[in-house]
């Protein structure tokens, strides 16, 4: 075979292969177009069962599906509730921690201010003023009750302490507002110093104690001194009185007087 004939044969074979490939591509394209243009098959509607068994099976499937949906809804709700509780708990703890820190800070500031101010504290000053006002208002009432008894002759046990001064307990006899029988260091349990105790004796007579307490109420200074007093509910005389100064460096700053065992005597 000549070279020219072989070349023509190869060219013819190549042309045949190209034509086959072209036809295949066209055929595939036409089939794809037919598939795209073909109508989409809709799912066949589920037929209504007509037998009792079919109806029961369908109702059972629907109940199962409904329970699954409800179970899933409850699961979602529980999950949301847990998330909300967790968020609320975190918010509550955060707010509580902030309030606690603020409270501790405020307490620290308040404690520092009180330490710097020192005694008496504000509430102590208010209480002292209220107590002194009560003593001052009830003093005349108790004095009137005591005087209404007309007790001129009696014995009473007295005690007075102020720093190094300690007078009593000692029994004194009073007649017409004056000390008739006075105690002494030999008869009193404590009577030191004797001169000071003798000078305080007239003040400790119940008839004179009202004037003494009245002077103490007039000498009261809010924020610097304090005064306490209790009176007998039946006779009206004072049974205990105490007072002093908040300044600990003041000598004999605090005193206390006690009246006990009051016994009337025959004239």
Q: What residues contact 160, with CB distance under 8 A and at least 6 apart?
A: 166, 167, 168, 197, 200, 204, 255, 256, 257, 258
**Nearest 5 degrees, angle CA 240-CA 244-CA 247?**
160
Helix H or strand E segment including 154: strand 153-162
For the beta carbon of residue 25, count every other beta carbon within 10 angstroms.
10
Tokens read off for 62: 């629907």
Please state, in angstroms and rounded to a whole number, the distance separating the CA atoms of residues 83 and 105: 33
- Please state, in angstroms and as integers, the Cα–Cα distance from residue 176 to each residue in 3, 154, 179, 205, following that order: 173, 9, 8, 11
CB atoms within 10 A of CB 155: 15
Return the higher-pLDDT residue of 137 and 15.
137
pLDDT score of 22 more than 80: no
Q: Which two tokens stand for residue 129?
A: 């003023």
pTM above 0.85, yes or no: no
Spatial separation of the C-alpha atoms in residues 201 and 236, rounded to whole Å: 20
pLDDT of residue 119: 72
Q: What is the pLDDT averaged over residues 116-123?
A: 75
Are 156 and 206 in contact by the 8 Å Cβ rule? The answer is yes
The DSSP annotation for 197-224 comes to HHHHHGGGSHHHHHHHHHHHHHH--TTT
Give the per-residue pLDDT at 40.
56
pLDDT at 266: 80
Q: How far apart are CA 159 and CA 260, in angstroms?
A: 9
Of 16-30, 49-63, 204-218, which has the strongest mean pLDDT?
204-218
Average pLDDT of the chain to the nearest whole number: 84
Length of the chain: 267
Angle, vertex CA 229, rays to CA 226 and CA 231, nearest 5:
170
């Amino acid at each position: 075979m000549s070279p020219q004939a072989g070349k023509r044969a190869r060219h013819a074979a190549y042309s045949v292969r190209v034509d086959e490939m072209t036809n295949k591509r066209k055929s595939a394209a036409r089939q794809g177009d037919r598939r795209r243009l073909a109508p989409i098959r809709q799912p066949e509607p589920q037929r209504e069962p007509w037998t009792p068994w079919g109806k029961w099976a369908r109702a059972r499937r629907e109940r199962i599906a409904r329970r699954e949906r409800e179970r899933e809804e409850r699961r979602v709700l529980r999950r949301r509730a847990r998330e909300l509780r967790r968020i609320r708990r975190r918010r509550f703890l955060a707010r509580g921690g902030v309030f606690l820190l603020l409270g501790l800070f405020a307490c620290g500031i308040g404690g520092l201010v009180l330490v710097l101010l020192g005694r008496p504290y504000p509430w102590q000053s208010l209480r002292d003023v209220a107590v002194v006002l009560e003593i001052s208002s009830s003093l005349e009432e108790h004095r009137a009750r005591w005087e209404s008894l007309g007790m001129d002759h009696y014995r009473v046990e007295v005690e007075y302490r102020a720093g190094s001064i300690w007078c009593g307990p000692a029994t004194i006899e009073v007649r017409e507002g004056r000390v008739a029988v006075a105690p002494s260091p030999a008869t009193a349990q404590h009577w030191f110093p004797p001169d000071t105790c003798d000078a305080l004796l007239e003040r400790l007579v119940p008839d004179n104690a009202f004037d003494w307490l009245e002077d103490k109420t007039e000498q009261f200074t809010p924020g610097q001194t304090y005064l306490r007093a209790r009176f007998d509910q039946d006779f009206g005389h004072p049974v205990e009185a105490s007072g002093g100064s908040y300044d600990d460096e003041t000598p004999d700053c605090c005193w206390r007087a006690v009246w006990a065992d009051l016994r009337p005597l025959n004239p």
